[in-house]
Every structure is written in structure tokens, then in C-alpha cells.
Chains A and B, each alone.
Chain A
Amino acid sequence: MKKKDNIYNIGKNLGLEKTDIDNVLSAKSRTTEIANTPAVDVYKAGTRYGTLSSKELYKAGTRYGVASQQDIYKDGTYYGVISHKELYKAGTRYGTISPKDLYKSGNFYATISPKDIL
């Protein structure tokens, strides 16, 4: 049996329809775009996935940006050294910000949505 068929069968037990799985697997590969891109350019773009401009990524406070650490910290990312109080305001997992805001931020730590990254 093919591995893909295995996944269809396994998925059924988890409530996944074949079409759900096919939709994901047939979607445009996020990797193709960067497959032939030199790592240095990918880094410059700020993410392995990114089509986002560096500027936007820097604003989002990712690790690979050219923004100073201070800027990143100010941005409130998980990687910063800002105080917990500030982190809470920035919407980290440990913070007092609402889950709604966390969702808006696309993940626990970042301030940018997956949509923007992808």
C-alpha cells in the first residue's frame, strides 16, 4: 500500500476526509519557491519561507532581521530581553493579552500572521 493511502486510512480515524488531505498536499509547495534560492538570500528575506520583505519581517521582530536587537526586543518577540511586563503587553504566551490577540498574531510569539509570512 502506498504511504499516501496509508495516510488516507489513518486520517479517517481522526475525522479527516480524503479531500481534506488532498487539498493540503496539492496546495502549492511553500518550499519550491526557495528551493533554488541561495541560503543567504533566504536569510535576508528573514525566513526560510518568506516572500515578505525584510523590512516587514524586521518589524515583526524575527531573528534574521537586520534590525538591532534592541529593536527586536522592543517589538516584543519571544527572543527579546524586554521585561516580562512589556512581553505581556506584546502578547507572549505568558502574558495577560487575550487569546484573541494571540490568534491575530498568528502564533504564540510573533506579531505577524502566518498569512503574511506565507
Chain B
Amino acid sequence: MKDKKMYNPKQVVWEITLNCNLKCSHCGSSAGKPRPNELSTDEALCLCNDLAEIGFRGIGLMGGELFLRKDWEVISKRIKDLGIALSIISNGFFNTENIIPKLTKLEVDCFMIGLDGATAKTHDGIRGVPGSFDKAIENLRAAKKSGLVTGAITTIHKLNYNELPKIREFIVNERIDWQIQKATPIGRFKKKLSLTEEEYYALGLFVLQTQQKYKSDDFTIVGSHNFGYHSAHLPNLSLYSEWNGCVAGKEVLGIQSDGGVKGCLALSDDFIEDNIRNRSIKDIWNDPNSFAYSRRFEKENLGKNCKGCIHGETCRGGCTTRSHTLTGKIHNDPYCFYRIEQKLLQE
């Protein structure tokens, strides 16, 4: 199905540095040291202009830990000045008094902090640095108090799965947004810590129960954009209003701190399309041959997990990153609620 009309630039996820002050075991980009040749401030600002010219309407800045990049505020301001919605994702390990007022002044549209446990023992254990839990909590509270649209992102795997109810208690008490995502074995994250299909489905049930039980005027609780797809029994629980296939390179763009461009930042380096130092982002985006794995989907491309599925044509085999990481193929994502339900009902 060739649907050129759907190349609709919406959201960029931009890793402005790979430098990080934590050592998270689930980090998909194995962050720690900065990349050897990260974009200069001038290059970053030029990139902002080009993204605006293409028509992207939202940019999410992240790292590594983005606040370790000295010019993060300059880049953020340019994004806001261009009229683009700015979201920021941080690990929460930063100086509250230094950062929160700047975010407020910038009028950041959405501020998210990673929260991976209900206790310091779990969160710090996953994040690899003592004190990271306390700082994350302190900064979530400070951001909320300052009036920022504030949320926590919890990346779920076997090390924190059973703490979900306790994390929920915190979320509900603090009345902050909550996004729940399943960890995918890329970067530093070990496959053996991934959720099983049954655990994943139970996670869907948990999110549903949470949405129903704690429905509130003050905060929202959702799964990540690639959460579950076309379940026959669960309503849509994801960040997107509906799943119509991976939007990498069609609506979304990922940019690495050294200028590498992917359809989605989470994809492996095998999917680097080009570098903005070779070609402008406008040229890369507008090249009809770019992101062919996503833009030129044909039903026949579906992998064995998805072949013959009634949703195949629109679902397109789910999340490209998860599919490729787990099966070595794209359009073949096994973590699909509908697929899991088919197995359950056949027993």
C-alpha cells in the first residue's frame, strides 16, 4: 500500500547528546559518554529551522540526559520560537533549582521523567546510581508544582513489573500523567529481562483497570504509542488514538546527537538513513527513496507472526523496532494483544 499522502511530518524525537549521568540497565542507546562528534550549537539551530520548514509540529528532546548538554536551553528556545511544540524527556537526575525555572520560562509543552520503581532500591538498581529515585521524585513534584504538564514514564520489565501497583499509588497521589512502556531488548537491555507475552497481556489488563479505577480530571494514564494494537477485547490503551502501522519516517523522525537520521530514534543503527552533515534533513525527508522499509509497505511484507491477520493491512505488523529486535524481521511484531488473544482463545 503506497500512501504518500500520509508522509505527514508530525513529531521528531531528538537525542541532543548521548552523555548521561545514569547507567540504566534498560537504556536502548547505551548512553554514557557523548558521541565523538555531536552536533554543534549552530548545526543544531540550523536543524531546528529545517525541521520547522518541513512542517514538523512537535519536537521531543532527550538524551542521554539532555540537560548535560550546555546549550539545551538555546536549542529549546529556538524550537519554541519556531512555534513547534516542545516536549522534554529527562532521567530526573538534575538540580531542581537550576532546571525547573528554565523549563517554566521556556513554556515547555510537556515534561516527562523516567520513573522505574516504587522504591529507591528498585529504581536506583535499574538506573545504576544511588539517589536517582529521590531526585526523580523531587523533580516530578517540583515540575508539577511549577505548573508544567508533568508526567512519569515507566519502562517495564521483569525487575519492576510487580511494583506497578505501588508506582500507581504514587502516580495517583501526586496526580501526574503516567506513560507505561514495555522495555525492548536493544542497547544495554538484556532480552532475558523482557516480559513474556502473558506478562505483557496482563500489563494491558492492568492499564485498563487503572484507567477505569483511577479516572481523574487531573491526570492521564496510557500505554506507549505501540501498546497492544488491535485487541479484540481491550480498548485502545495507547498514546495514539488508533494504530495504523509504524509511522517511522512517515510522521515521525529520530535524530541522533551526531546528526544521524532514522525513521524512529529507537531503531538500531542499521536503520540510519543518512546524516544531516551529508544531506540536509529536508533532502533526506523529501527523498522518495528514504525510509522505504516504512513508506513502501506491502501486505506481502508481513512476517510469519502477522501473515494472514485480518488487521495486517492497517497494522502493518506493529512496531518496527520491536519486530526487528525480537525477530530479525520487520512487520512481524510478536507483542500484539490480538495475536496473544488468538492463542488464549484457542487453548
Contact = CB atoms under 8 A, between A and B. Distances in A.
B63 interface: no
A86 to B, nearest CB: 11
B205 A20 contact: yes
Contacts of B314: 39, 48
Interface stretch (B19-27, B135-143, B210-218, B279-287): B210-218
Contacts of B340: 3
B46 interface: no
Given A24-B208, A31-B338, A99-B216, A7 B10 contact: no
B206 A7 contact: no
A39 B230 CA distance: 14
Interface of A: 2-4, 6-7, 10-11, 13-16, 20-21, 24-25, 27, 29-32, 34-35, 39, 47-49, 62-63, 77-79, 81, 83-84, 87, 93-94, 98-100, 102-103, 106-110, 114, 118
Interface of B: 6, 8, 10, 55, 57-58, 83-85, 87, 109-110, 149, 161-162, 164-165, 196-199, 201-203, 205-206, 208-209, 215-220, 222, 230-236, 239-242, 244, 310-311, 313-314, 338, 340-341, 343-345, 347
Contacts of A94: 58, 85, 87, 109-110, 149
B232 A79 contact: no
B198 A103 contact: no
Given A7-B198, A110-B241, A31 B205 contact: no
Given A79-B10, A94-B87, A6 B233 contact: no
B230 A103 contact: no
Contact of B83 (A14, A25, A83, A109): A83
Contacts of B201: 7
Nearest to B207: A14
Contacts of A6: 196, 198
Given A25-B233, A78-B10, A94-B109, 14 more contacts: A7-B201, A13-B161, A14-B202, A15-B209, A21-B202, A27-B233, A30-B231, A79-B8, A79-B10, A83-B83, A98-B217, A107-B236, A107-B240, A110-B241
